[in-house]
Amino acid sequence: MTIAESLSPRSLRAPESGIVEVVNYARERKGLIPLWVGEGDLPTPEFIARAASDALMRGETFYTWQRGIPELRAALSRYYARRFGISLPAEHFYVVGSGMQAIKLAIEALVSPGDDMVYLTPAWPNFAAAAELSGANPIAVPLDFVNGRWQIDLARVEAAITPKTRALFINTPSNPTGWTATREDLSDLLAMARRHGLWIMADEIYALYHYAGGRAPSFLDVMEEGDRVIFVNSFSKNWSMTGWRVGWIVAPPEMGQVIENLVQYSTSGVPQFLQQGAITALDEGDAFVQANIDKAAKNRDVFCDALIATNRVETLKPDGALYAFLKIDGVTDSRLAALDIVDRTNVGLAPGTAFGPGGELFMRACFLRDPKDILEAADRLARYIAAR
């Protein structure tokens, strides 16, 4: 028996990331413009890093609150009052080790092995993989791609619900498509969940990246007390903190002990000095977040306009999130195309094959970077497309 054959079948089913495959193929190349992963090019702002550094030097290095330090949970409560106009006491917030862990723990809390979880595709691949690792069955419901824009078919979502279905996973604004649910969409999805006795797991990490102005519609705008909605989120995108691995869950206080227990048996809590930096991000970081949003909006226009002008790319400017999802004429295998593009242009894109059903013909580009890089990347890609 080989070592691989001796491992658990569940661990062996964990798929290789189609995004990371391309990153590993070319990450060290000189002159590379990396648009393949979902992060900006700015490091964490100094004032946030300093708050964490100061706490580290004060000795805040011991075991800490499993649900998050009270000061950070209170800061999250203030953040939601300011950004979402809703009063949620600190008991609704749970600090975890990244948005990815928030998703994994929420899955563990909501489903049992053999349960179904319905989600919209194309989608960030980590959700489906995390569901499978927990023994659940991720059921993909493709969005429609019509005249360059993504749309939800609510009847198709409901048709995917069976007696085995336990939850709906809804990411809006969407990674990778930029699809953004309207308030009416969210009301309809919530009514559907109520009819079938389902949970909704709401990934609203890109809520502030909404190019119609203001934040995107949220389930918080339409839900009522007692509705079964759990929110997963992260400090990564808004405050340029991807490497910190700090996220949070918003859930009913009745779930508190369950979430605490799940944290205990996974990471045993987020380092306290990192949580001090997160408090500063929430309380003092609005101007930095707005600068990121403004940069993303301008880059979205520059990048998409340049590629649409080739008349060989089918897409519209996304309504939200940080990504252009591009359908390039002649691309039939986006994995091979991503490898070819990085070889020929030194621009790193994520292949649509990584994002599940409906994404196979597309390429994802993150546009939260220096505008000069975005201009250069658009020019390189336009020349590549013209030469095909």
Average pLDDT, 10 consecutive residues per value, the chain (388 residues)? 88 88 93 96 97 98 97 98 97 98 98 97 95 96 93 98 98 98 98 98 98 96 96 98 98 98 97 98 98 97 96 93 95 94 97 94 96 97 90
* pLDDT score at 165: 98
* pLDDT score at 191: 98
* pLDDT score at 107: 98
**What pTM was estimated for this model as a whole?**
0.95
* pLDDT score at 199: 98
* pLDDT score at 79: 98
Task: Enter the tokens of residue 232.
Answer: 């997963």
* pLDDT score at 4: 85
Rounded Cα distance between 190 and 187, Å, is 5
Rounded Cα distance between 14 and 132, Å, is 8
